[in-house]
Chain A
């Protein structure tokens, strides 16, 4: 009877691990999505910066804030876009880091699950003999 207890124990462990793995994979997918969004934004901001740099000093620049266009100083707009690019780059870097972390975790989880499965199989084989 002890073996069946151990078997159940193992099965429960396997289930919890599988659940964890699923969660991790979901997180990774989410991370990918966010990263994609940020990459697109980064590209857009870079375009804006390029255009802003091409404008002359006296050009009128507006920013759409809610429903209204607010006139902005060119230098200010430039600085703002730069800041935003920096921010997005930092965010992307951060996301990369977490992604790597998560992938490592995922791999270790997968290995753990594999081990448990092997143990279960071994147990079953032992039972079959007995």
Chain B
């Protein structure tokens, strides 16, 4: 089993022990608390500043204020504030300046701005830290749940990335450049979806091309019929598009080509049918793989064991990053595209995928 499966299954807890992740999360939480304290003190300053502005603005309203002057810690005596429009403002670093009420308020407003920018930066920092903490928490939870990391190799000519699975390294997988060697139903479906998308795009392209040509050379239709057919036939051979689709498309959109198309249709109908039969066979077989893994098939192992194993953590090694970060398994009842294998040639440089599957099955 081990040498046939093209990936490794590692439990996440062996890479990130739950306690370690928790510890890291705790450290981040501590930092957050520290920042929170800092933020609180700054917010306190902001409030003080606002109060002060209020007071300073009100003081010059009267010529003098009767107040209780603090004397020592406990005592007060009555006094009177005069010169209510003269302030000695601390600028910082022991420097004081004599200012009027208005000027003082201006200074305070400037100070407020500085404080606000500090608050903003602190908040941003805390956001970052919170994200980090939640990541650690999630990792810890997943590790303790027994989440498994499934790595499947993206096989290229570079075999540098030796995954710990020793059996993997000796396979004589065809490694021509750019070849996809996909494993498992996940990849197959992904691939099928990709390919069907390619097909769609290609068809659209074709439509656009033809309409353009039709618009341009409306007059020489008869001559062009032949040309279209030839062109389409090339296209056909190239892309091996599904015949029925092609027919529909043409009959609805391009009456001009209809005659030639039907002639060619007969010629090609048989091969297309054969193709279709083949394809459905393949997809059927694939379905079987998914539902009941026999010892022979290559469908990767561990998918059905843990219910949580739907997410895949991107390993640290960059060489494995051919996968997107997480793979979501789909249920098997996705409509299989019968023309999926046939469409493989549309991606030109890539050798067809069914071949590699057959190779896999031989082993």
Interface residue ranges, A against B (CB under 8 Å): 41, 44-45, 47-48, 50-52, 55, 59-65, 69, 72, 77, 81, 84
Contact call B96/A48, Cβ cutoff below 8 A:
no
A51→B93 contact, CB < 8 A: no
Q: Which of B94, B95, B98 has the most CB of A within 10 A?
A: B95
Interface assignment of B91: CB less than 8 Å from any CB of chain A: yes
Contacts of A60 in B (CB 8 A): 97-98
Flag if B97 contacts A63 (CB, 8 Å): no
Which A residue's beta carbon lies closest to that of B114? A47
Q: CA of A87 to CA of B261 in the docked complex: distance in angstroms?
A: 87
CB of B96 within 8 A of CB of A52, answer no
Q: A47-B114, A51-B107, A51-B110 are in contact. Are A64 and B94 (CB under 8 A)?
A: yes
Q: List the A side residues contacting B125 at CB < 8 Å.
A: none
Inter-subunit contact A48/B95 (CB<8 Å): yes
Query: What distance in Å separates the Cβ of B38 from its nearest Cβ neighbour in chain A?
Result: 12
Q: How far, in angstroms, from A55 to B99 measured CA to CA in the complex?
A: 9
Please, which residues of chain B bring their CB within 8 A of the CB of A62? Answer: 88, 95-98
B92 near A: Cβ within 8 Å? Answer: yes
B89 vs chain A, min Cβ distance (A): 8
Contacts across chains A and B counted by CB atoms under 8 Å: 51
Q: Which 3 A-B pairs have the closest CB atoms?
A: A60-B98, A64-B94, A62-B96
Residues from chain A with a CB closer than 8 A to the CB of B91 are: 47-48, 51-52
Bound together, the chains give a CA A62 to CA B93 distance in angstroms of: 11
Q: Chain B binding site: helix, strand, loop or mixed by DSSP?
A: strand
Contact mask for chain B residues 78-112; partner A; CB cutoff 8 A; 1 contact, 0 none: 00000000001001111111110000000100110
Question: In the docked arrangement, what's the CA distance between A127 and B88, Å?
Answer: 79
Please give, as numbers and ranges, the residues of chain A lying within 8 Å of B96 by CB-CB distance.
61-64, 69
Contacts of B98 on A, CB cut-off 8 Å? 59-62
How long is the Cα–Cα vector from A21 to B50 in the complex, in angstroms?
49
A52 to B88, alpha carbons, bound, how many Å? 13
A36 to B97, CA, bound (A): 27
Residues in A whose Cβ lies below 8 Å from that of B93: 41, 44-45, 48, 81, 84
A51 to chain B, nearest CB (A): 5
Q: Are A48 and B88 within 8 A (Cβ)?
A: no
Could you write out 6 A-B pairs with CB less than 8 Å apart? A48-B91, A52-B95, A62-B88, A62-B98, A63-B94, A84-B93
Complex Cα distance, B93 from A45, in Å, reads 7
CA distance A47 to B114 in the complex (A): 9
A65 touches B97 (CB 8 A): no
Which residues of A are found within 8 Å of B97, using beta-carbon distances?
51-52, 55, 59-62
Q: Complex: how many Å from CA A60 to CA B88?
A: 9
List residues of chain B with CB within 8 A of the CB of A51.
Answer: 91-92, 97, 107, 110
Closest to B86 in A: A60
Residues of B with C-beta under 8 A to A61? 95-98
The winner among A44, A62, A64 for most chain B CB atoms within 10 A is A62
Complex: A44 Cα to B92 Cα, angstroms: 6
Q: How far is the CB of A118 from chain B (nearest CB, A)?
A: 22
User: What CA separation (Å) do A89 and B362 show in the bound complex?
Assistant: 72
Instruction: Given A47-B114, A51-B107, decide whether A65 and B94 contact each other with a Cβ distance below 8 A.
Output: yes
Closest to A50 in B: B110
Chain A's closest residue to B118 (CB) is: A43
Chain A residues, Cβ within 8 Å of B114: 47
Bound-state Cα–Cα, A47 to B111, Å: 8
Chain B residue contacts of A55, Cβ below 8 A:
97
* Closest B residue to A66 using CB positions: B94
Tell me, in angstroms, the Cα distance from A59 to B88 when the chains sit together.
Answer: 11
- A45 x B94 contact (CB < 8 A): no
